Amino acid sequence: MDDDQSRRLLIIGGGAAGMSAASAARRLQADKEIVVLERGPNVSFVLCGLPYFVSGIVGHLESLIVYTPEYFRMERNIDVRTGCEVKRIDTGNSTVEFVDRATREKGAVSYGKLVIAAGAQPIVPGIPGLALRGVFALRSLEGGAVMKDFIARRPVRRAAIIGAGYIGLEMAESLKTAGAEVTMIEASDSVLPGSEPEIAALIEEELRRQGVELLKQQLALSLESNAEATVERVKTDSGEVAADMVLIAAGARPDAAIARETGIDVGETGGIVTDEAMRTSIPDIYAAGDCVEARHLLTGRPIFLPLGTTANKQGRVAGENACGGRAVFPGILGSLAFRLFDLEVARTGLSHDQAQAAGFAPISAIVRFPSRSQFYPNAETLTLKLVADRRSGRLLGAQMAGNDAVAKRIDVAATALHAKMTVSDLMHLDLAYAPPLGTVWEGIQLAAQELLRHPAAGS
């Protein structure tokens, strides 16, 4: 192994995880050779901003690019190569083979350490009509640009969204804001998988209030076209939905193909398996971001939940450790937030049902409380469901909806979950209060009071 090879850090994927790894490595080692191979034309992109680009709230696609390839090359001395599709990892020779998508030329780069940050792919149901014009599945900036262009060129009067997870919900707001009538088609009996029923009910109420149609327990069977091969309607198992445009928002799966072909362990979730140091099962190869599965801090079980927050943390840990660091990524709580028109929704930890399934003995309380002192004008009503373990008294999860700092309030619960706090501990929290900013007892404490009335939860 020559010197160059042993020193070079190679990263597959220039998204949040890959560029976090590259930047973390550069911070630790000023002279390390760092190469990033990215399939698309951009790196360091913020896919979670796409709904706001489609709606027009964000005017320029470039706003969703934190740093350009040029910036990384010039300012951080990171050799970013866009348009490079990785074909094979040769672990025997510590080499990655790729094809330049523009020239079709093949190339190879050797590595001392490798970080796989290949991201995720949209889950697309196997139904006819996916190739029609006007059918989209958002998983890249370029895809967002094409969709925005499609909307700009013709009046999209009716949009259908297949899937009512949080991205489907964000896109419902986005497309409605862009001027379309929106119908959501959801196969299950609830929006947002993993939601407490009381929170799901508030989401559905907000959809109704904003004039978004929600069809539950309907399965999309095919996408049908007009003469111009542009989508015209969605056929479902119980009818038809007229649509000038269809967005597939049925979730994502880890892009672990290259890892699998390399013989790297892939878990039951489909994500690459790593340890806390983000090491894969093959020496010198790390993985980070949407292509890996994480450990759930409460259940200890693997979970696949592709989020930018996790990708940034994991990338950083992988990049540091690839440079001899000793960083760890302990796992996730499933924390999540999104906005749906005038409703903020956020969660952390386990729902009542998830806690039950994980072997806990869950008890839960739901409270509705004002976002500021009751005497202070314009308080919003917030709804919080708190779940705890009856046996240990430990907090297990929180879900909240409303229109005032809901995500930040959930962060308090997330921090308490990290600290393995009990419901009693929550009552002792010295939280900051002023009449225009909150209530003397915060919602989490009001819910904790409720839970403490439950026999045996006060331990």
- Under the rule (CB under 8 A), what is the footprint of a second copy? 16, 46, 48-49, 52, 57-58, 63-64, 170, 297, 307-310, 312-313, 328-339, 344, 346-348, 373, 375-377, 405-412, 414-416, 418-419, 421, 425, 427-438, 440-442
Active-site residue, 48 included: yes
Provide, rounded to whole angstroms, the least separation between the CB of residue 51 and a second copy. 8
Provide, rounded to whole angstroms, the least separation between the CB of residue 403 and a second copy. 11
* Beta-bridge mates of residue 366: 385
User: Which of 48, 84, 291, 323 does the annotation list as catalytic?
Assistant: 48
Select 236 or 422, whichever has its Cβ closest to a second copy. 422
DSSP state of 317: H
Closest by CA to 292, choosing from 313, 283, 42, 284, is 313
Provide, rounded to whole angstroms, the least separation between the CB of residue 201 and a second copy. 20
* Beta-bridge mates of residue 279: 286
Copy the structure tokens of residue 430. 């010295």
Select 187 or 297, whichever has its Cβ closest to a second copy. 297
Contact indicator for 184, 166 with CB cutoff of 8 Å: no
Q: β-pairing, 343-349 with 34-37?
A: unpaired
Select 66 or 108, whichever has its Cβ closest to a second copy. 66
Select 31 or 430, whichever has its Cβ closest to a second copy. 430
Helix, strand or coil for residue 38? Answer: coil
Select 89 or 332, whichever has its Cβ closest to a second copy. 332
Provide, rounded to whole angstroms, the least separation between the CB of residue 205 and a second copy. 20
CA distance 136 to 148: 11
Provide, rounded to whole angstroms, the least separation between the CB of residue 108 and a second copy. 33
Select 81 or 441, whichever has its Cβ closest to a second copy. 441
Select 211 or 435, whichever has its Cβ closest to a second copy. 435
Contact indicator for 396, 388 with CB cutoff of 8 Å: yes
CA distance 112 to 211: 55
Strands of 208-257 (E only): list them: 213-215, 220-225, 231-236, 239-242, 245-248, 252-254
Select 324 or 435, whichever has its Cβ closest to a second copy. 435
Task: Name the one residue in this structure whose structure tokens are 């099962």.
Answer: 281
Provide, rounded to whole angstroms, the least separation between the CB of residue 117 and a second copy. 15
As a residue count, the chain comes to 459
* Beta-bridge mates of residue 286: 115, 279
Contact indicator for 35, 18 with CB cutoff of 8 Å: no
Q: β-pairing, 113-116 with 9-12?
A: parallel
Q: β-pairing, 343-349 with 336-340?
A: antiparallel
Torsion-angle region of 367 (φ positive above 0: left; ψ -120 to 50: alpha; else: beta):
beta
Q: What share of the chain is helix, strand, coil (3-state, %, to 5)?
A: 30, 30, 40
CA distance 375 to 155: 47
Provide, rounded to whole angstroms, the least separation between the CB of residue 109 and a second copy. 28
- Exposed/middle/buried for residue 270 (C-beta within 10 Å: 0-12, 13-18, 19+): middle
Provide, rounded to whole angstroms, the least separation between the CB of residue 181 and a second copy. 23
Q: HSE of 392 in the Cβ direction (CA atoms, 13 Å)?
A: 13
Q: Which of the residues are catalytic? A: 48
